[in-house]
Structure 1
């Protein structure tokens, strides 16, 4: 697997799993009815540094995951990062998310960010284990903030890691 900075040409490889994850409604607070155009504007915004994970397939190389890195705040707080991560649901459990997370954390530190915050991590998201294993802590939980399609109302964690 290789991780590199994304280009505009990578979007057609990102969109299918971005759409599946968001429509699944279990891990992201984005509207499941988000159009492809709006999704691209959200994920590939000019202020974000976007990365892709590529892996070999029988047909060549495919984008199997993506992440973005951006300042969470502006002005005097612009040294606190935010990031988003998605892995093709057909490829979960293979270390892609962990590899993307380590890459983005290293990039954030190299770019001078002092910490990273996640504003809304669904508390039932299996990635919570990944984030805590990488040193993130739960600063607080907004109770009953997310309508999970299977679990009903669940909380949204605010998570942080100093870099």
Structure 2
């Protein structure tokens, strides 16, 4: 909806439209409490809503992989090709390891190899995550069980950063 169209609507219509949008897109808010050892670069975003539209899970993970050094990523929408390039740039490679390590990235692919979701492992069985790309989808910490349950219909691949 364009600004001019919005301005022409009466308040009742605006309220109905926003209520409908919130009902359809609002995240249920379930999240895990941040542990005391949460990295400083994640603290400003953990269990918080965005202030602008567009940020997606891939951007969230790239921001985390950069350890906050690439601040602008957190607010962006990133395409799968860019995400794959950033995995390579930060020296992340698929691993067959069963145990997750802090800094691992889990990527969920569909049957066509299209990335549908990604999350960043912070330890203590928790992931830094973002479902969706609207302001109604917060960055939040989710348990491994909750995240894997949500995406269990897809193939999960763990990426780990290799030493240079």
User: TM-score by structure 1 length?
Assistant: 0.27
Q: Which has the higher strand share?
A: 1
| Larger RCO (CA under 8 A, 6+ residues apart) | 2
Larger Rg: 2
User: TM-score by structure 2 length?
Assistant: 0.27
